[in-house]
Amino acid sequence: MNRDVLVIGGGIAGIQASLDLAEMGIKVHLVERLPSIGGRMAQLDKTFPTNDCAL
Amino acid sequence: MDVGRHPNINLLAYSEVEKVEGQAGDFRVTVRKKPRYVDESKCTGCGACAEKCPTVTSDEYNLGLGKAKAIYKYFAQGIPSAYTIDATICRNFQPGKKCGICQKVCQAGAIDYKQEAKIFELSVGAIIAATGYDLFDARRIPEYGYGRIRNVITALEFERFLSASGPTHGHVYRVTDLAAQEALPEMEKVCQKAVKGLERYEKQFSMTSDEFYGRYESGEFKGGNEEYDKWAAAVVAARKATAELEVLQKKVESIESAHRLAFIQCVGSRDIRFNKYCSGFCCMHAIKEAIIAREHDRDAQVYIFGMDIRAVGKGFEEYRNRGAKEAGVHYIRSRVAEITEGKNHTPIIWYEDTKERVVRQMPVDLVILSTACQPSASTRRVAELLGIELNEFGFYKTASYPPLDTTRPGIFICGCAHSPMDIPESVAQASSAAARAAQVLAGSGTMRLAS
């Protein structure tokens, strides 16, 4: 049994999945196509319904 | 932020999965890390390279609304913070051209034009595909004029306008007004050059251009020196440039921020021609942008055109009402038939008011299209790599229970790769997918696989 996990996509979903697994003590390989992670959410200014800053 | 630092996360940015073999509990994955031509471990992200880079291009992060250089950071707070060279436009990579400026100015010595792609072989027990979404290309609905009528933009473009880190630093202007503002310095340069070009003649003949031209017009210098004809032509050109500059200056001075804003909902979704499904987050996204636009500009008048407002999440209905109460958002139950362009680049919305059963028109400063959430362009490719199936809409096919399991054991999905959803739901799904993956590693995750 292999103990690592591969996550494809570094948007908010991929980031959250990676962090959860990493916090469980599991080694994660996070692959992102673009030069930086963040995905669409990084393009948002604020988020509903609280108008918190997205970044 | 934590992702870049976490000891258990191996971040492979600017990379793509090339091959996946094996089965749940024992996948062998090949990943290709594309060359950045910048050493990630050396680059401090200072930006001196981009400042001096001579190659200007449009900025992908700001959806082409801003400017970027051939050596760029995808966005300011991006992780990893290293810069990347776009080899398709960088001079150094064009045949017969040379540059090397970024290498000279980089104090960290991070620039490496000879960097090559790296191949990694990984062994993993489970895979989570979180490949996200793309937005519907509004050009596919020609009657809305996106791409043709410049003051028709998409909701994500509007988001960049509203953002303090965006191309307008949070100010909302009509796109045509922005273009005029941008054109002004260039026009000033052209005008200055034209006026300066006259000085040579003025010195040569010890006469002001105005005086000369008056006398030239009355026929005084006809048929003589060729230089006189050239001078006269230069005077005409300079006067024309000055006049054009004055018009542009007046136009730029009179520019106000865009006050009348109209959102069009369901652009590419709930539409049998394109996507039948509801794209979920666009109603709330439009309301959010409307509220923020109003915060930035107390005079903003915002109209949201839609079949209905779908506010089904926690606190969403209250948010909808807050939009109406605090931000004065007008919700207009309608179907927009067409957008035309009136005088001074003003978009005019033609719509059926379904309550009063009449066709109306409304001129506005900016039209914002709430474009649908669609499977990302890479979804099909990743599905083929992973050997998993897609559903009728092109999203990954999932079991009805457990809902994040794909058609192949050990591979899970989350977020908008599953279906359109907002951020809290994506985050909740991500935690759920992480739990499913952990179950596989613990030797139990495949037990509950749906058929």
Mutation target for A interface from B40, B288, B292: give the one with most A CBs within 10 A: B288
Q: Does residue B33 belong to any structural domain of this protein?
A: yes
From A38's Cα to the closest Cα of chain B, the distance in A is 7
| Mean of the per-residue pLDDT values of chain B | 92
Residue B450, in any domain of the structure: no
Its pTM stands at 0.88
Instruction: Tell me whether residue B394 is in a domain.
Output: no
> Is the domain of B139 the same as that of B273?
yes
Tell me the average pLDDT across B339-344: 95
Q: What is the pLDDT of residue B1?
A: 57
Residue B8: which of A13, A26, A40 has the nearest Cβ?
A26
Is residue B34 included in any domain, yes or no? yes
Handedness of CA A17, A20, A26, A31 (dihedral sign): positive
B24 & B154 share domain:
no
Q: Write out the DSSP string of B85-100.
A: E-TTT-GGGSTT----
Both B76 and B103 in one domain: the answer is yes
Residue B239 lies in a domain: yes
Q: Which domain holds residue B329?
A: 135-173+257-374
Distance from A52 to chain B by nearest Cα, in Å? 11
Please report the ipTM that was assigned to this predicted complex: 0.94
Q: B10 and B116 share a domain?
A: yes
For B304, how many CA atoms within 13 A lie in the half-sphere containing its CB?
Answer: 28
Binned at pLDDT 50, 70 and 90, residue B446 comes out as low
Query: Beta strands of B268-325 (E only): which ranges?
Result: 301-306
Residue where one domain finishes, among candidates B210, B232, B253: B253
What pLDDT shows up at residue B411? Answer: 96
- Kindly state whether residue B428 falls inside one of the protein's structural domains: no
Domain boundary among B195, B220, B253: B253
Q: Given the DSSP bridges, would you call strands B84-85 and B71-72 parallel, antiparallel or unpaired?
A: antiparallel
Q: How many domains does chain B have?
A: 3
DSSP-assigned letters across all residues of A4-24: EEEEE--SHHHHHHHHHHHHT
Q: Is the pLDDT of residue B450 over 50?
A: no
Does the pLDDT value for residue B283 go beyond 60? yes
pLDDT band at residue A46 using 50, 70 and 90 as cut-offs:
confident
Q: How confident is the model at residue B225 (pLDDT cuts 50, 70, 90)?
A: confident
Q: What's the pLDDT band for B449 if we cut at 50, 70, 90?
A: very low
Residue A55 has pLDDT above 60, yes or no: no
Question: Per-residue pLDDT for A52 more than 80?
Answer: no
Phi, psi of B221 (to 5 degrees): -105, 15
pLDDT > 70 fraction of chain B, expressed in percent and rounded? 98
Beta bridge partners of B346: none
Nearest CA in chain A to B6: A22
Q: Are B406 and B396 a contacting pair, CB within 8 Å? A: yes
Question: Domain of B308: which CATH number?
Answer: 3.50.50.60
Task: Find the mean pLDDT for residues B134-142.
Answer: 97
Q: What is the pLDDT of residues B239-249, one digit of tens each?
A: 999 999 999 99
Q: B354 versus B141: which is more confidently predicted?
A: B141
Predicted pLDDT of residue B392: 95
- CA gyration radius, chain A: 13
B249 and B262 belong to one structural domain: no
Which amino acid makes up residue B209? S
User: Does B402 reside within a domain?
Assistant: no
In this prediction, residue B451 carries a pLDDT of 41
- Nearest-CA distance from B343 to chain A in Å? 32
